[in-house]
Every structure is written in C-alpha cells, then in structure tokens.
Amino acid sequence: MFICENLGVNDAGHLSFAGQDTAALAARYGTPLYLMDEARIRRNCRVYRDAMRACFGESAMTLYASKANSFRQIYRIMQEEGMGVDVVSRGEIHTAARAGYDLSRAFYHGNAKSDADIAYAMDCGVGCFVVDNEDELHAVEAEAARRGTAQRILLRVTPGIDPHTYEAVNTGMVDSKFGRAIATGEAEALVRLALSLRHVRLLGFHCHVGSQVFAEDVFERAVDVMLRFIAQMRDTLGYTASVLDLGGGYGVRYTDADPTLDIAEKLRDVARVFHAVCAELSLSEPAVALEPGRSIVADAGLTLYTAQSVKRIRGYKNYVAVDGGMTDNPRFALYKSRYTVLPAGDMNAPRNMRCDLAGCCCESGDILQQDVALPDTLRRGDLVAVCTTGAYNYAMASNYNRVPRPCVVMLRDGDSYVAVRRETVDDLTGLDA
C-alpha cells in the first residue's frame, strides 16, 4: 500500500513514519518539518556495503554521496556504518570535519575547485581528490609540491553513456561539463599528464553516468567501457589502475509508477560483467567504489506541511497551499520530479479532490506537486506529507523570499531529536551588514 515500508497508518488515522505519529511530531516541532528515519539510513548503508563486499570482495568501497543530504549527524552515522563519503565543496568537507568524520576516507569531487578549496581539503586530510581536468591537476600538483607530499587522486573520465534519466543529472556523455572523454582521446591525455607529475599518485579512474538511474544495464555498460579504458592505458602507457569508481547509486521509488529495485541483485549483475571483462582482458581486478547518495537517504525522509488554504477555481483546478514549498523542496520546480503526497492527519478519508500542491513563495512556479489526490474535507490547519524527501531536499533548500529553512528531526528507536535546528528570521539577517 505504501511506497516505503517505514510508512503506516495508526489507530488515530494519522500517518506514521518510522513507527511514530506524524501529527504528534508536527505538534511538537512545528511545520514545515523534515523528518529522517535513522534506522532506514543505516539499513540502506548496510544493503549497499554488504552487497558491494559480496560482489567485489574486501577491497570494495562504498561511499555516501553527501551532496544528497549534508549535516553533521549524517557524517557521524556514516562513520559508525563504516561508509566512505563523497564530498564536493569546502562546506561539505567542513561539515564532515566538524562531525569528527575521518576524512582520509573521503573522495573530493567537483569540476571547479579553487586553490583555496584544494588547500583546505589538504589541510583537512581528504584522502583522495577526484580530479576533473588539466587545470585542476596542475593546481593539485602545485599545492602538494608546496607541502612536499603526493596527493592520492582519481581522474574523472566520461564514458559516453546515456543513462536515460532527466537531462539535469546526465553526466556521462561526451559533451558533459564533467571529466574528460574517452572517445575524444582527452581522457588518455589527462592520464599521461597525471603520470608525468611527481606530487600526485594516480590510483585509478572515476565515472558517473547520472542520477535516479533505473535503466537496465547502465552500470554494466559503464563497467565495460571503463575496464576497456583501463586495459588500453595498461597497453599504451604501462599504467594499471588499482581503483575503479563507478559514481552514484540506483534510483529510488517516489511514486507507485517507479519500479522496486533489489540493489543486491542489481549489483550482482554488474559484478558478473566486471569479472567477465577483467578475465577477457587479463586485467588484475581493480578495487571497485560506488557512491550512492539518493538511495541512502531518500526513503529515510518525509516532509510535513500545514495547509494554509484550499482554493477551488471552478471549471479549472484546485490548489492546496502549504507553509513550505520550493524553498525546502525545489525538485518539482527544477525537474518536474514526482512525489507521493498524503493527508497525514486523516489517512482514512477518501482522497476525492484532485489538486496541485502549491508552496508559499511569491512565484507561480512554486509548486510542490501537480495533480495529486487529497480528501475534499481538507482544511486550513490540516497536515500534508510529501514522502521520500530525504535526498536533495534539505541539501538544495534556499532562503528565497527570505523563508527560513525547516528543522531536520531524526527519528530513532521510538524517540526523536533535532539534527538541524529550525532557521529563524534572525538567522537570515545575521549575515547582513
């Protein structure tokens, strides 16, 4: 009945999440409210880690792509779960460091790292840089030389694969802004350059084909292309990569229209291709890394809102407007992303009103979801839940219209705690001169 097993309905007819009454949580913490199910985050980590080990052996690395949701408590959980992390900015590095996360296990991504970013990451002891291009490679070499060290790096390579997901998250194509393409020979040139430098230590290669990936064989094709590239570098340059990082993880179910994936089974299919191609090419198997973000945290999240108005435009459509919107979840405005919307305070009422769920921003594009079914008894003051919001919601939240960002409340063992406090209007003016 529900898109995720941590959802339910309790005796009061309220939506429950991680076994807790969402109406009671809304009353306690206010709305809009991000809820995170800690046990689900940990479970998702274990699913990936166990499957990666089973498929690729002890050298397999599973990193949480922390761009999906970054705050201190998340990095503490990742540390406890034995996960590496993928970081993409000074802010994420700082947040991880302030959480006590061991950054020697972090991979540092990004296509436009400044000298200051590079120096900060080295100060913090970030284990591995994923170098995007020649300019960055020279900058990393220079900073490592200044320190008399050799920085461990991967090179980001573009395999030329279309993951058939939405355009904003396609990254594996030849004309991507990320990495250097195999097809044009520019990837090989980047490898030659890296091998000629004394203060970088090339561990291997990284590719990321896209996000919200469901298409049948995307990772299999990426593995095939990347292993052939590794073999080509061995044969032409005498260099054998010891790490192959395949980038982000699988897609998640936002609505009933999305398929259910068995991640362990999917990874077994990838591993079959990996072992077969390594054998075919007589390649010593590189350590395989994967960097899931969305599928670690998405279904561990839920957002609660309070309806502020119910508007019927006779002959046209209905709107339910809530106290949050594109400021806490810009994904429909940006990507037309689908979500499941539920009447959290009255789950047993018939859902007989088609409506758009509108946000509170002074912009008509501020829509959280189009054409959803809610009860026609819904009134101002009633709760509305948007499910599966644990990834790329808080992480992409803004203060547009000077709307303060919601708090993040973690649910654990029947209890709850504030992981990120609610922003106040004074926080907003706090930066102003």
Residues serving a catalytic function are 362
Binding test (CB under 6 A) with ligand LLP, winner from 24, 145, 169, 261: 169
Q: Is 291 in the site for ligand LLP (CB under 6 A)?
A: yes
Q: Which of residues 195-214 bind ligand LLP (CB under 6 A)?
A: 208, 211-212
Binding test (CB under 6 A) with ligand LLP, winner from 159, 293, 301, 359: 293
Q: How many residues bind ligand LLP (CB under 6 A)?
A: 19
Q: Is 64 in the site for ligand LLP (CB under 6 A)?
A: no
Cβ atoms 279, 268 nearer than 8 A: no
The residue (of 179 and 345) whose beta carbon lies closer to ligand LLP is 179
Residues whose CB falls within 8 Å of the CB of residue 295, separated by 6 or more in sequence, listed in order? 44, 48, 249, 250, 251, 252, 263, 391
Q: Is 292 in the site for ligand LLP (CB under 6 A)?
A: yes
How far is the C-alpha of 360 from the C-alpha of 345, rounded, in Å?
20
Shortest distance in whole angstroms from residue 55 CB to ligand LLP: 17
Q: Is the peptide bond before 32 cis (omega within 30 degrees of 0)?
A: yes
Tokens 């429909």 map to which residue?
A: 332
The residue (of 207 and 347) whose beta carbon lies closer to ligand LLP is 207
The residue (of 231 and 288) whose beta carbon lies closer to ligand LLP is 288
How far is the C-alpha of 388 from the C-alpha of 162, rounded, in Å?
25
Cβ atoms 64, 109 nearer than 8 A: no
Binding test (CB under 6 A) with ligand LLP, winner from 45, 60, 65, 310: 65
Closest CA to 39 of 290, 422, 390, 392: 390
Q: Is 9 in the site for ligand LLP (CB under 6 A)?
A: no
Closest CA to 304 of 66, 43, 36, 60: 36
In angstroms, the Cα distances linking 392 to 5, 38, 283, 326 are 21, 17, 37, 12
The secondary structure element, H or E, covering residue 275 is: helix 263-280
Q: Is 108 in the site for ligand LLP (CB under 6 A)?
A: no
Shortest distance in whole angstroms from residue 258 CB to ligand LLP: 13
Q: Is 14 in the site for ligand LLP (CB under 6 A)?
A: no
3-state secondary structure of 245: strand
Q: Which of residues 68-87 bind ligand LLP (CB under 6 A)?
A: 68, 86
Binding test (CB under 6 A) with ligand LLP, winner from 249, 343, 359, 406: 249
How far is the C-alpha of 245 from the C-alpha of 179, rounded, in Å?
13
Q: Is 294 in the site for ligand LLP (CB under 6 A)?
A: yes
Binding test (CB under 6 A) with ligand LLP, winner from 271, 331, 341, 420: 331
The residue (of 90 and 331) whose beta carbon lies closer to ligand LLP is 331
Q: Which residues bind ligand LLP (CB under 6 A)?
A: 65, 68, 86, 109, 169, 208, 211-212, 247-249, 291-295, 331, 335, 392
